[in-house]
Structure 1
Amino acid sequence: MCGINGMMFFNQQEVCRASLQNMGNQMVHRGPDEEDIWVEKNVGLGFRRLSIIDVEHAKQPITNEDETLVLICNGEIYNYKGLREELQTRGHQFKTNGDAETILHLYEEYGVDCVDHLRGMFAFMIWDMKTETLFAARDHFGIKPFYYFYNDEKIVCSSELKSITQEMGSLKELDPQSMLYYLTFQYVPDPRTMIKGVSKLPPAHRLIVKGNKVKVERYWQPTFEEEEQSEKEMRKNILETMEESVQLHMQSDVPTGCFLSSGIDSTAIASLMRKHGPLKTFSIGFEGKQNECDVARQTAEILGTDHHESIVSESEFFGAVSEVVWYQDDPVADPSAVPLFLLSKMASKHVKVVLSGEGADELFGGYRIYQEPEALRHFQWMPSDLKTRVRSVVQYAPSFYGKNFLLRGLTSLEDRFIGNAKLFTEDLYDVLRERNDSFHNAFEWTKQYYAEVEGLDDVTRMQFIDMNLWLPGNILAKGDKMSMAHSLELRVPFLDRELFDVARKIPASSRVDNKTTKRIFREAMDGVVPDHVLNRAKLGFPVPLRKWLQGPRGDMCLSLIQSSGISKYIHADYVERLVREHQTGKKDHARKIWALYVLAKWHIHYLEEGQPKVPLQEGQQEQSPTEQPVIDHVV
């Protein structure tokens, strides 16, 4: 796990090593162990290393045998040992025992199709001297980040947005369309970012730069295709592939642990890891009835792990927000990012790698919202035009019990589901100061994905939307940024190509029914996961945000929102109305207030204070951004 930077001038202007150094200084947290810079005329690559595999020798940038290819890679290739053996039989010679070097030799064999052979998480760049081509790619699910910016002069690439804005200088400005998407989704969907002109390379995409031409193309799509098989076969395939994936994800030359919540996903991983030896597990929670730590502690006792836990207070939660927003790059209004940040901080004191359960819900149908199509099946007989007419009557009728259920049943899936979060929708232009008819709303954005799964059942279509939007935009962005803030490598065994190939063939009826979610997965884990967790309802991180914002914290958030730079975009009086309605208990606006608060914090850090630097905690002294010697390789 590392941080990568790259720069290429189209007009043959030489790359300044100091520019790559400054970009690297913005993400020391991603690679505190070493730094290296490679420059050849108009191309430069910068690398910050977090040493995980072949700690002594697998340094980057790394070249092939004749030094015509140069690679920098952020991530882990879990099938690298098998690939290495195969490539050696074809005559390839390796300099290290690291995993990333296999990408170079795969590129020699297959060119840009080398990504088809990789099983892992990655974002990498290769400079091909023979063809004078810059080639980059991002992993299949979007586990690792990759940002880029280009104009007529150059292209700049990085693992972090703040490294790009370091190079952009005064050119950076907020993208209003992305802000509009953020206010509805609670994140900025790929390939957009909140900074105008900067893009994210979407999951399963590659970028090819030759001359001054920049080409982005998809190389893989997570398609669902049901396959006839018995449920016994499904359970067997899930368990065997899950065991293999966990074992591959445990490959490391440094201490490894596991996040452990009250849910089945992390518990399954911890249970399978424990079979291979001693295990450190880490949990975090809040005071109250839904404290994740109580159940996780019971699980740890049954499994016999070395368990560590922490209870987060209200003051600790809000005290971490500035750092969380700084490390996020783009704002993500998921309050669970804060406990994940604090959990990662705790774990980093004991291990350098953790496994976690992200992705299980998207693969196996774990969100309760996926049960909605079954609940609404009684509306299927109605023609769409009749639904529209009845909905118009119900919508403007006085409030009554079941009104919301009726409205959802009378609304098409495309018009009601855009993923696992939906904040400002009908009231979007109540909160925004200006209405621009050229802007698109979130429902228009999701149409492109619905078009790709037309004709499939509603549960599968919902999973497809989440895999392309919610998973990379919220879940994985949060996981990567919050763990790497503490130089902790987070691995996600559920997001494995082979495991997805098993999950995508499972019929929707075996994934979700009217009684439970992830049904066939739960059955496959029977005997692996302790009984007290096996059929436990999903909680996530139950942050008591609603309660906190009803008190003085609501006024604190309102004050920051109104005094920040977003006041030029947001109606201050509408925000105050949200806060007052929430404080009086009239309505629950906690998530909307939080989204605006995070946006205000982000605007302060990224657009009002010049080039952002990590906020200092109380009593903390500012340190030099880099403590490691820099090795410059100049060709």
Structure 2
Amino acid sequence: MCGICGIINKNSKKVSLENVKIMAKMLHHRGPNDEGYFIDDNIGLGFKRLSIIDIANGAQPMFSDDKSVTVVFNGEIYNYQTLRHELKKNGVIFKTNSDTEVVLKSYIYYGLDFIEKLRGMFAIAILDKNIREIILVRDRLGKKPLFYHNSNKRFSFSSEMKSLLKLDDIDRDISLKSLDQFVAFGYVPGSDTIVNSIKRVEPGNLLRYSYKNDEYEIVNYWTPKLNKRNKIPNQSLDKIIGASVKLRMISDVPLGAFLSGGIDSSIVVALMSKYSNVPVKTFTVGFEEQEFNELPLSRIVAKRYRTEHHEYVLKPDIKSILPDIVWYADEPFGDSSALPTYFLAKMAAQEVTVALNGDGADEVFGGYDRYKAILRVLKYKSSPALARIFLKNIIKYFPQNNYFNRIKKMVAFSEMSLQNHYMDKMMIKRRDARLKLYTDDTKHVIKKNNDNYHSLFELDPNNLNSPLARIMINDLLNYLPGDLLVKMDRMSMANSLEVRSPFLDHNVVEAASHLDDSEKLLWYGPNKRFLRKTYGQMIPNEILNRPKTGFGIPVSEWLRGPLYTMSNDILLSSIATNRGYFNTKMVSKILDEHKSIKKDHSNLIWSLMMLELWFKNFIDNK
């Protein structure tokens, strides 16, 4: 992994090498092994390298023979050897064994069509003097981040926002729409960020900036499609998954795997063990609170495959590390599982430089319980009208327990549209509850936005896909790149560790689109039916028969105990109050309700804490 950045001054003024170095310095954790810079009058590029492939010869920026094309590149191209072989057959000469040179020579040979040939995770910047453009490309599913800023003074880009915030022309005004999105979801979805003037290149997109005409266009080159709308694969899906794991084991540095107590990482470790001649190094984080502790289950898999297993127990004494977590997260990030992910990556980085994980299997193969809940509602809505009327009339007499509460929710959700049901599942707080949180000035601005973000989560209005496929596509487009991949990229890069996700190979995603909904999950029974059926013999029964659980932490308990004082100090401070975004009395009420166990506001409190710490890190400390 690496960090990339660049500046194009619009006034023909020469770019300061010092400015580019300041930007790159903010990316040092992404690439501590090497650095490189290129200055050509009003254009400057910077690069920080974490050496993985061709350690001796993969320096960047990398140039074409005539110096007309320059590339800086963050990521890995897993099929670079195949592409290199194809290009060599066509007379292309290579000077290194690096995947960066494959990216460079592929662009020169194929033009922009080269993107279709890449199999990997990447954020690429190509400076092409022949057409006077800089081309930014982000991988299909959003594994690697890429931000940009366009002002009257310059066009700039970087792997992280904090790097752009070091430039003097960056307007740090906060987007209240994005702030509300963050409170709603715990992240800011889409192309916007919390800072009005900074945007992100979305997954599967490329941006072409013409410094000749001072204009740019954004082109979508790939988007996920489900329900048999992709080309039928030549190989069986299990072979494609196997090949994806095998490709991600190519490395010139030590390699291992994250191992939880779940089916996804267990499959990855099982396949790695099959293809490896030496024991796989595995890493697991656990908790003293047993309901969150996956150590016993991960040990079962580690024992079966005789891995070299490492464990770390996370304790609630984490106050000192939270500012660092916020700094590495780079943008406001409300998913508390970033914390164990950071420590997991830190532990792994002591032994390996590359780790594989099971990310993406839930979105691709139907792993979330919310999918099943939506299918149950659809099943209920298709039942006879008299039965539904009868259940609605007697439901108020049901006792309060988990089983009957699920039935009550099902009946309530049946009166919503599919889109509203999905949005309700994804939001931390609904719109009416969020508006109560804000000061009058903030509320006035946010109320003008009547969209309520439904356009971000468009559920296929033409009904070309099944309901299940429609919500899974939205998770691939929004939740995956906005939350899960941000968490994994930032927390792993914080420790200079590269993490690879075999289930997020676009060939796997496209091949899985040919599965019937029933091969993924039904409204009853286990999730991820295809994975359980295909790999059931490789996975211990304790893992195979275990209900779906997330990678959570006991944040609710911590915010009532060891983190209670800290959360009050952060959210009720005069600095937080004077920002003018939130109603202090309502925030205080939420803290008190959580402390007294009247309500569980843990996700909201954690998100607000992370937001305030982000303000202190990146807005107050210029």
Query: What is the TM-score of this pair, normalised by structure 1?
Result: 0.90
Aligned position for 2:586: 574
Structure 2 counterpart of 1:550: 560
Structure 1 residues 383 and 193, CA, compared in 2 at 3 Å: closer, same or farther? farther
| Match in the other structure for 1:363 | 364
Aligned residue in 2 for 1:518: 528
Residue 228 (structure 1) shift: 12
Contact (CA 8 Å) 1:261, 1:295: kept in 2 or not? yes
1:594 Cα offset (Å): 0.8
Once the two structures are superposed, what CA deviation does each residue of 1:251-278 show, in whole Å capped at 9, x if it has no partner?
A: 1100001000000111111111112122
- Give the whole-Å Cα distance in 2 for the aligned partners of 1:604 and 1:229: 49
- Aligned-partner residue type, residue 417 of structure 1: Y
How far did residue 87 of structure 1 move?
Answer: 0.7
Work out which of the residue numbers 574, 577, 591 in structure 1 matches 2:603.
591
1:7-46 superposed matches below 5 A: 7-46=7-46
Deviates most, 270-279 or 347-356: 270-279
Is structure 2 residue 436 aligned with structure 1 residue 430?
A: yes
User: In the alignment, does 2:352 pair up with 1:347?
Assistant: no
Partner of 2:246: 247
Bigger mean CA deviation after superposition, 139-148 or 456-465: 456-465
Is the contact made by 2:225 and 2:510 (CA closer than 8 Å) also made in structure 1? no
Q: Partners in 1 of 2:438 and 2:67 — Cα distance?
A: 54
Q: Where does residue 625 of structure 1 map in the other structure?
A: none
The number of residue pairs the alignment matches comes to: 601
Aligned partners of 1:227, 1:16: CA distance in 2, in Å? 49
Q: Residues 19, 182 of structure 1: CA spacing in aligned structure 2 closer, same or farther, 3 A cutoff?
A: same
Q: Deviations over 1:571-607 (max 9, x none)?
A: 1111111111111111111111111111111111111
The answer (yes or no) to whether the contact 2:227–2:466 under 8 Å persists in 1 is: no
Higher deviation after alignment, 375-384 or 516-525: 375-384
Task: Indicate the SS of the match to 1:607.
Answer: helix
> What is the identity percentage for the equivalent residue pairs of Structure 1 and Structure 2?
33
Shift of 1:110: 2.4
Per-residue deviation at 1:169?
A: 5.8
Secondary structure in 1 matching 2:46: strand
Equivalent residue for 1:506, pick from 515, 518, 523? 515
**Contact residue 6 and residue 45 of structure 2 kept, 8 A:** yes
1:114 Cα deviation after fit:
1.5
1:111 equivalent in structure 2: 111
CA distance in 2 between counterparts of 1:286 and 1:165 reads: 36
2:391 corresponds to 1:415: no
Q: Distance in 1 between matches of 2:462 and 2:506?
A: 20
**Unmatched segments (≥5 aa) in structure 2:** none
1:569 counterpart letter in structure 2: Y
In the superposition, relative to structure 1, how do residues 273 and 154 fare at CA in structure 2: closer, same or farther (>3 Å)? same
CA shift digits 1:199-221 (9 cap, x unpaired): 01000000101130111111111
1:633 counterpart residue number:
none
Shift of 1:129: 1.3
SS in 1 for 2:242: helix
> What is the CA distance between 1:10 and its match in structure 2?
2.5
Once the two structures are TM-superposed, the CA of residue 132 in structure 1 deviates from its matched residue by 1.0
Retained in 2: the 8 A contact 1:177–1:440?
no
What is the rounded CA distance, in whole Å, between the counterparts of 1:439 and 1:67 in structure 2? Answer: 48
Question: Structure 1 stretch 48-57 or stretch 533-542: which is displaced more?
Answer: 533-542
**TM-score after normalising by structure 2:** 0.92
Give the match for residue 163 of structure 1: 163
Q: Which runs of 5+ in 1 are unaligned?
A: 611-635
Distance 2:227 2:142 in 1: 21
Structure-2 residue corresponding to 1:213: 215
In structure 2, give the amino acid aligned to 1:588. D
Shift of 1:351: 0.5
Query: Which residue identity is paired with 1:602?
Result: W
Secondary structure in 2 matching 1:209 = strand
Deviation at 1:361, TM superposition (A): 0.6
Amino acid at match of 2:43: V
Aligned to 2:270: 271
Amino acid aligned to 1:62? M
Summarize deviations over 1:349-391 as a string: whole Å, max 9, x none. Answer: 110010111111111011111102331134435999xx9xx99
What amino acid does structure 2 have at the position aligned with 1:416? H
Distance in structure 2 (CA, Å) of the matches to 1:18 and 1:30 = 19
- Are residues 1:602 and 2:601 paired? no
CA contact (8 A) 1:206 1:218 kept: yes
Pairwise mapping of residues 63-212 of structure 1 onto structure 2 (< 5 A)? 63-168=63-168, 171-210=171-210, 211-212=213-214
**1-side partners of 2:35 and 2:502: how far apart?**
28
Gap change, CA 1:340 and 1:129, over 3 Å in 2: same
Q: Which of the numbers 469, 480, 500 marks the counterpart of 1:460?
A: 469
Cα separation, 2, equivalents of 1:325 and 1:200: 19
Q: Deviation at 1:441?
A: 5.0
Deviation at 1:459, TM superposition (A): 1.1
Evaluate the alpha carbon distance shift between residue 227 and residue 207 of structure 1 in structure 2; reply closer, same or farther with a 3 A threshold: closer
Distance apart, 1:93 and its partner CA: 1.3
Q: Aligned partners of 2:374 and 2:188: how far apart in 1?
A: 27
Q: Is the 8 A contact 1:581 1:587 kept in 2?
A: yes
Q: Secondary structure at the match of 1:44?
A: strand
The answer on 1:451 being equivalent to 2:450 is: no
Q: Which of 452-461 and 499-508 deviates more?
A: 452-461
Change (3 A) 1:552 1:482: closer
Instruction: Please list the CA deviations of residues 120-139 of structure 1 after superposition, one character each: whole Å capped at 9, or x if unmatched.
Output: 00001011111111111000
User: Structure 2: how far apart are the matches of 1:417 and 1:598?
Assistant: 25
| Equivalent pair of 2:460/2:470 in contact (CA under 8 Å) | no
Describe how 1:276-295 pairs up with structure 2 within 5 A: 276-278=276-278, 279-290=280-291, 291-295=293-297
Q: 1:616 — aligned with what? A: none
> Residue 338 of structure 1 corresponds to which residue in structure 2?
339
- Counterpart contact for 1:525–1:534, Cα < 8 Å: no
